């Protein structure tokens, strides 16, 4: 029994792998087929350095069609530029001795390295130029070596892109929707952490790891949004515009940064007693709606209505009005009073921006998923 338990546990985990890691498994299949297909084609074409075509196909096969498009374009343009420039320098500058060869290498690499530094997406250009001059293929002559290098890279790009389009294709739009949902899920947790800090129940240290996760998730979303733009520009996807969602998510995140700054000074006891329940209701409600809206975005469903948030924020506004009318803030130190008013402004901005985000998410819902 003891020996059998780990075996059954492993089998159960393997059975659940397609569900848990479906996207990764599909990408693995595409990369494998792209590499194998390119290897067969490069051998059939008798390319002198066919392994560069194989490397290229593996590199450009990304998690989405848009990602493969971008990687293929950048690699092909960078390769063509590096090969043409390297061949031109090799033909124009004599290099029959060792010193001449070093000079040609420097004259080729320095400008291409500068281009790669300014435009990182073309970092393959100096690599191509260097390989062109150093590899055994350069014995063919600069023009012939450049032509073969460009052909090899082009073959890898074509095969990688074809596999991305035809074999278990993944559109960047769906990946971006799920990435946006992930950002909202993390932001919903941040709202609750900030609430605890405002009420004096936690410190800023509890939010440190969460903020790192949010930055990483937003960076991931920005990357995939770029892939969506490539798909739409290439007419490979007829989907809704995701840019408004990405822009509004940035604003929501900025609003929460302002809430976090206000939370640096916990609410004073008399204010917390009067404002705490309404503040907890408003922030808990918006946290819940962020989480459910994120789930709806991921599934391309219409998010739930905002009526609970409107009621909760109205209650908070009423409690703030009572505090002002009674003059509770007059007896507070300036920094604490300023924090209370800064919090009110930040929450008002958060409400407006989240309403905008909710509207944009509703526009992206599939017709069959409308609720």
pTM for this model (two decimals)? 0.73
Distance of CA 137 to the CA centre of its chain: 39
pLDDT of 22 above 80: no
Per the rule left: phi > 0, alpha: psi between -120 and 50, beta: everything else, 257 is alpha
Its sign, for the CA torsion 35, 76, 91, 96, is: negative
Which fold is adopted by the domain 186-369? Methane Monooxygenase Hydroxylase; Chain G, domain 1 (1.20.58)
In this predicted structure, what is the pLDDT of residue 364?
Answer: 84
Whole-angstrom Cα distance, residue 234 to residue 173? 13
Token pair for residue 223? Answer: 């990357």
* d(C-alpha 218, C-alpha 214), whole Å: 6
What is the Cα–Cα distance from 249 to 235, expressed in whole angstroms? 26
- Per-residue pLDDT of 275-318, as tens digits, reads 888 889 999 999 999 999 999 998 889 999 999 999 999 998 88
| Residue 120: pLDDT over 70 | yes
Average pLDDT over residues 189-203: 84
Q: What pLDDT, on the 0 to 100 scale, is given for residue 12?
A: 55
Region(s) of the chain under CATH 1.20.58: 186-369
State residue 369's pLDDT score: 45
- pLDDT higher than threshold 50 for residue 241: yes
Over residues 81-107, the pLDDT tens digits come to 888 888 888 888 766 667 777 888 888
| pLDDT score of 1 more than 50 | no
Query: What is the pLDDT at residue 8?
Result: 45
Look at residue 44 in the predicted model and tell me its pLDDT.
Answer: 92
* Residue 208 in this model has a pLDDT that exceeds 80: yes
Q: Which of 21-25, 110-114, 314-318, 320-324 has the lowest mean pLDDT?
A: 21-25
Per-residue confidence band for 5, with pLDDT thresholds at 50, 70 and 90:
very low
Please write the tens of the pLDDT for every residue from 243-270. Answer: 888 999 999 999 999 988 887 877 777 7
Percent of the chain with pLDDT over 70: 84
Mean pLDDT of 72-88: 84
Question: Mean pLDDT over residues 335-360, rounded?
Answer: 87
Between 252 and 3, name the one with better pLDDT. Answer: 252
Q: What Cα–Cα distance (Å) separates residue 113 from each residue in 10, 70, 118?
A: 49, 21, 9
The proportion of the chain whose per-residue pLDDT surpasses 90, expressed as a percent, equals: 21
pLDDT confidence bin for 139, thresholds 50/70/90:
low
Annotate 133-147 with b (16+ C-beta within 10 A) or e (fewer).
Answer: beeebbeeebeebbe
Q: Are 357 and 293 in contact (CB under 8 A)?
A: yes
Q: Find the mean pLDDT for residues 108-128.
A: 86
Q: At 240, phi and psi to the nearest 5?
A: -65, 160
pLDDT value, residue 311: 92
How many other CB atoms sit within 10 Å of the CB of residue 284?
16
Tell me the pLDDT band of 72, cut-offs 50, 70 and 90: confident
Q: How confident is the model at residue 145 (pLDDT cuts 50, 70, 90)?
A: confident
* Mean pLDDT of the 187-213 span: 85
């Amino acid at each position: 029994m003891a020996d059998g338990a780990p075996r059954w546990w492993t089998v159960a985990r393997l059975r659940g792998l397609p569900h848990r890691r479906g996207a990764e498994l599909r990408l693995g299949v595409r990369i494998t087929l792209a590499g194998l297909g390119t290897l067969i084609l490069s051998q059939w074409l008798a390319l002198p350095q066919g392994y560069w075509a194989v490397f290229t196909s593996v590199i450009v096969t990304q998690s989405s069609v848009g990602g493969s498009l971008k990687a293929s374009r950048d690699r092909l343009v960078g390769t063509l530029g590096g090969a043409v420039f390297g061949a031109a320098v090799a033909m124009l500058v004599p290099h029959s001795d060792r010193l001449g060869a070093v000079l040609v290498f420097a004259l080729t690499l320095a400008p291409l390295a500068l281009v790669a530094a300014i435009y990182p997406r073309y970092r393959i250009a100096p690599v191509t130029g260097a390989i062109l001059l150093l590899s055994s293929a350069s014995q063919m002559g600069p023009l012939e070596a450049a032509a073969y290098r460009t052909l090899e890279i082009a073959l890898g790009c074509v095969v990688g892109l074809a596999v991305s389009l035809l074999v278990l294709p993944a559109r960047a739009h769906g990946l971006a929707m799920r990435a946006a949902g992930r950002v909202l899920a993390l932001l919903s947790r941040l709202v609750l952490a900030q609430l605890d800090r405002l009420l004096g129940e936690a410190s800023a240290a509890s939010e440190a790891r969460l903020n790192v996760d949010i930055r990483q998730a937003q960076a991931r979303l920005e990357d995939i949004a770029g892939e969506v733009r490539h798909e739409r520009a290439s007419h490979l996807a007829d989907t809704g515009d995701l840019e408004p969602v990405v822009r509004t998510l940035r604003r929501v995140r900025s609003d929460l940064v302002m809430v976090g700054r206000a939370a640096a000074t916990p609410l004073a006891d008399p204010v917390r007693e009067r404002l705490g329940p309404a503040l907890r209701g408003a922030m808990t409600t918006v946290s819940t709606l962020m989480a459910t809206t994120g789930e709806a975005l991921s599934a391309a469903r219409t998010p739930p209505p905002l009526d609970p948030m409107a009621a909760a924020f109205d209650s908070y506004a009423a409690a703030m009005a009572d505090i002002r009318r009674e003059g509770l803030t007059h007896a507070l130190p300036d920094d604490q009073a300023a924090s209370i008013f800064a919090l009110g402004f930040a929450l008002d901005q958060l409400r407006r921006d989240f309403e905008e985000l909710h509207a944009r998410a509703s526009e992206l819902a599939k017709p069959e998923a409308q609720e």
